[in-house]
Structure 1
Amino acid sequence: MEEMSPRPHFLVLTFPFQGHIAPALRLARRLLAAAPDALVTFSTTEAAHARMFPATPEADGAGVLPDGDEDGRLEFLPFPDGTEAGYVRSADPGAFNAYMASFHAAGARGVAGIVDALAARGRPVTRVVYTLLLPWAAGVARDRGVPSALYWIQPAAVFAIYHHYFHGHAAGVVAEHRRDPSFVVELPGLAPQAIGDLPSFLTDSTDPSDIFHSIFNTIRDLIETLDKESPRATVLVNTCQELEPGSLAAVGAHDVLPVGPVLPSGDESGIFKQDGAEYMEWLDAKPANSVVYVSFGSLASMAREQLDELLLGLEVSGRPYLCVIRKDVMTALAEAEAEVRGRLRSGVAVEWCDQVRVLSHAAVGCFVTHCGWNSVLESVASGVPMVCVPRMSDQRMNAQLVVREWRVGVRAQVDSGGVLRAAEVGRCVDEVMGDSEAAAEARRMAGKWKRMVAEATGKGGSSERNLMAFVDSARSTV
């Protein structure tokens, strides 16, 4: 009797930060929806896994999300990172680089063990999918004869910049120009870019003493890893053809498949944080397009001066606002928490919210954002104009896409100390929510891109076709 082929089984691996876990888990669910016979094992570090499943008592470390809508096809297995608590913020500038060294070594060993254990259980992995800070995952897969694919969770433009930088164009970003943010760099297939808008890991982290030097090295290793794939590396990108046609064409060396925006397929409020939804009731009582939503992501810190200026600017704008001030930020400003909350007249502050639900609410008319790629995509998909306040990593390039390419927002200017002043908050909010022709254009373009993204991710759309092509290719290798 002919032996039955195993089911397609995707092992999805991701770095333990929330901004990586969310898009990776969304892709995992999309793969399950695209291939009803497929299995997915989702894996991040033990510490992050424990935060996702704080009350999960399984002795073997496996987990299932509360809704259980995957009928056992989605399994969660953590891998070690060589620490007990994961990365803990530290004043030591070498702490993060030390963590990354541990993460790479222990992670590779742990994932190899997971692949072997799944095969022993009769659930062999047939395709490894990994996010951008795990170049070693491709090596683990290659050693076991399993094809792999990179899931790039930043824009295609940033991937193209990294690709060309590490393929002979680093000389265009030389040391003497790094102190001149206006110096223009030209890379193949891309629009000219000022150095100040390139990913910060190329401009700030090449020095071994930099706190994030390990990320520079990891991205270099990732680009080299892709070059080793034969015949060509597969790169899934969390964007769509319509949003970034030029950037996608600028990397012809690999099979680059835009499969996004990969948005939530269901309620994600159980990941990391569960909270009441009083803020949704507050939004329900507000007029359409009247509320300013403010969030600077899951990692950014905020000094007291910046918080004071932000809240003052929001109050002076005269518009209702919903502002996310994370618990760790408020803890750092513990002596001021009561005072801060007491100053809220026109708005409300929350420690966390379901951002996709908020952005989808009719009352929200503007998003003041750090321009993390997840936030940008969620805003574009919801048709909400943005005020961009980028800080690091890919955020400056993301802001360029929002302002120059898609014309759905404005970039706020910080002062020489990096503080976004109250007057600038008010100016920018008015520029996208006011009665001017520019504000009307931003809203019109936001509506246009919302429709385009919906088409790309809908049945028969460009991203949906690319995802199905990837699933089919994975099935053909089983």
Structure 2
Amino acid sequence: METISNGNGGVRNRHVAVFAFPFASHPQLLLTLVQRLAAATPTVVFSFFSTERTNRGLFSERGCDNILRYDVSDGLPEGYVLPGKLHEDINYFLAVAEKEFKRGVQVAEKDVGMKINCLVVDAFLWFSADLAEELKVPWVALWTAGACSLSAHIYTDLIREKYAELKGSAGLNDEIVDLIPGFTSIRLGDLPSGVILGDLDSPFATMPHRMGRTLTKATAVLINSFQELDPGLTKNLSSMCNNFLNIGPFNLVSSPSKQDEFSCITWLDNQKPGSVAYISFGTKFSPPPHELVALAEALEATKTPFLWSINKDSERHFPLGFLETTTANGLGKIVPWAPQVQVLEHVAIGVFVTHSGWNSVLESIGAGVPMICRPFIGDQPINTWMVERVWGIGVRIEGGNFTKLGTCHALEQVLSADASSKGRKERIGALKDHAHKAVGPNGSSIQNFNTLVGVVTGATL
């Protein structure tokens, strides 16, 4: 067995290559996992590969402890400025990714002085299965979203085959029974982008399709969730994949930012328990101007206290005087950024108005806060389906878009003291307990993580 000194008197005896998908929250989530693994396996060195731009945001220097940073090309021609076309940056990256990661492995092996023993990759990078086979090492794939969307991608061929038969009689709003194993029913329009909707031949749609066909080859498939959330889906995916391991929620095993530069927590301290609507659509999404107006008008009409995290540019779409009036009368606080985990955990929060990104859904469950969902793209619609129809812990905004009347109704539904609202709070409270137990001593996610450590170190192979 190869060994090298770690520079601190210890010995490194394994070398793991980590391939990131350098978009949205994917790299940060993968690094969170690697940091946990690095802490648990001090004799393993991890070479983390992503684009220079992404790595710059993740690392303050070349690397730290037993995690080393390596940059790969983003595929953009030198000096090229992206015109803002959807997924164009992803398409450029995918065109060079396989070649770049292979090159990077050779550089890291020479640099570290040790051959790669294992690949830990973002599941989107399906082609890395071939490299793992070539290197004769375990291939570990991380799916950063939920079991619901992963199931849709694994069963894409089946769905497309069935949908072809249903096309004449079923529209996107129709519920289809027994379309995906583990689902009692699903709405066609809520399937993730690229399954049956959009340009199915685009690189962005091909990527998850190829991934779904390839994941059954993986030594282990990791998911940022906990098995008590989706027992039926977990059972089915476990029958399809080797070592299907729920190892989350990540937000409960990593330290959230304590920064609160806009005094969100101080403001919440002065609000009544369970009264505040926290509003955030992440960093990449924002409703169109007319929906922002409708949401603002609904907050005023219902006199709902609110904390709204929104970029400065979007504030210009607010109704005339909304910003000044709600700030002056103490009804609301508008900030460009909020410490979301801390905010959701605050006793004043009664509802989370969200785009239903998977991280946001998990953070809401971890804090026991019901949701009002306005999904946009990707896995957000199927996450919304789960929130409303499967787990019963939130509602979808009527018609899929914010209107004043529909938003007033949603706020009243979730924040009222009636039986249905109490039921939602009880159900999400139960899921919160399951989530915290999963990452507690001897919890299911901790046991699964220990299994992963055995795979990465070679102890269970």
* Same topology, TM > 0.5: yes
Offset of 1:226 from its aligned partner? 2.6
Q: Deviations over 1:255-305 (max 9, x none)?
A: 2111111225454549xxx77141122122223222111111222133221
Q: Tell me the CA shift for residue 373 of structure 1.
A: 0.6
Tell whether 2:215 aligns with 1:223. no
Structure 1 position 183, deviation (Å): 4.7
Check 1:267–1:243 CA distance in 2 against 1; reply closer, same or farther (3 A cut).
closer
Q: Is the 8 A contact 2:397 2:410 kept in 1?
A: yes
Deviations 1:3-57 (A, max 9, x none): 659534443332222322332222222223433444333332222223445xx5x
Name which of 317, 331, 335 aligns with 1:350: 335
Give the secondary-structure state (helix, strand or coil) at the position aligned to 1:410: strand
Distance 1:18 1:87 in 2: 21
- Distance in 1 between residues matched to 2:389 and 2:255, nearest whole Å: 32
- Residue 458 of structure 1, aligned match among 420, 440, 444: 440
* Of 307, 310, 314, the match for 1:322: 307
- Letter of the structure 1 residue corresponding to residue 205 of structure 2: F
In the alignment, structure 1 residue 116 sits paired with structure 2 residue 109: no
Say if 1:12 and 1:43, in contact at 8 Å, map to a contact too: yes
Residues in 2 aligned to 1:8 and 1:14: alpha-carbon distance in whole angstroms: 20
1:403 match: 388
The change in CA–CA distance for 1:304 and 1:276 in structure 2 (over 3 A counts) is same
Q: Which position in structure 1 is the counterpart of 2:6? A: none
Partner of 1:172: 162
* Among candidates 250, 273, 290, match of residue 305 of structure 1: 290
Structure 1 residue 151: Cα displacement? 0.6
**Unmatched segments (≥5 aa) in structure 1:** 65-71
- Secondary structure at the residue paired with 2:72? coil
Give, in angstroms, the shift of residue 370 of structure 1: 0.8
Equivalent position of 1:67 in the other structure:
none
**Is contact 2:194-2:200 (8 Å) kept?**
no
Whole-angstrom distance in 1 between the partners of 2:440 and 2:416: 32
The answer for the alignment partner of 1:260 in structure 2 is 248
* Distance across 1 between alignment mates of 2:246 and 2:380: 19
d(CA) in 2 for partners of 1:42, 1:3:
20
User: How many pairs are equivalent?
Assistant: 444
Aligned to 1:184: 176
Offset at 1:83?
A: 1.9
Give me the whole-angstrom Cα distance separating, in 2, the residues matched to 1:191 and 1:184.
Answer: 9
Alignment of 1:281 onto 2:269 = no
CA distance 1:148–1:25, change in 2 (3 Å)? same
Query: What's 2:197 paired with?
Result: 204
Partner amino acid, structure 2, of 1:254: C
Identify the match of residue 237 of structure 1 among 223, 245, 249: 223
Q: Distance in 2 between matches of 1:459 and 1:126?
A: 29
TM-superposition CA deviations, 1:400-426 (whole Å, max 9, x none): 222222221122113xxx631122222
Find the residue that maps to 2:30 and give its secondary structure. helix
Distance 1:19 1:176, change over 3 A: farther
Q: Equivalent residue for 1:31? A: 37
| Superposed displacement of residue 110, structure 1 | 2.3
Q: Which residue of 1 aligns with 2:48?
A: 42
Match among 410, 422, 427 for residue 409 of structure 2: 427
Q: Give percent identity, aligned residues only.
A: 29
More displaced 10-residue stretch of structure 1: 317-326 or 236-245 = 317-326
Q: Evaluate the alpha carbon distance shift between residue 109 and residue 200 of structure 1 in structure 2; reply closer, same or farther with a 3 A threshold.
A: closer
Distance 2:79 2:93 in 1: 9
In structure 2, list runs of 5 or more residues that go unmatched: 4-10
Q: Distance in 2 between matches of 1:86 and 1:19?
A: 25
1:13 maps to 2:2: no
2:126 to 135, 147, 154: 135
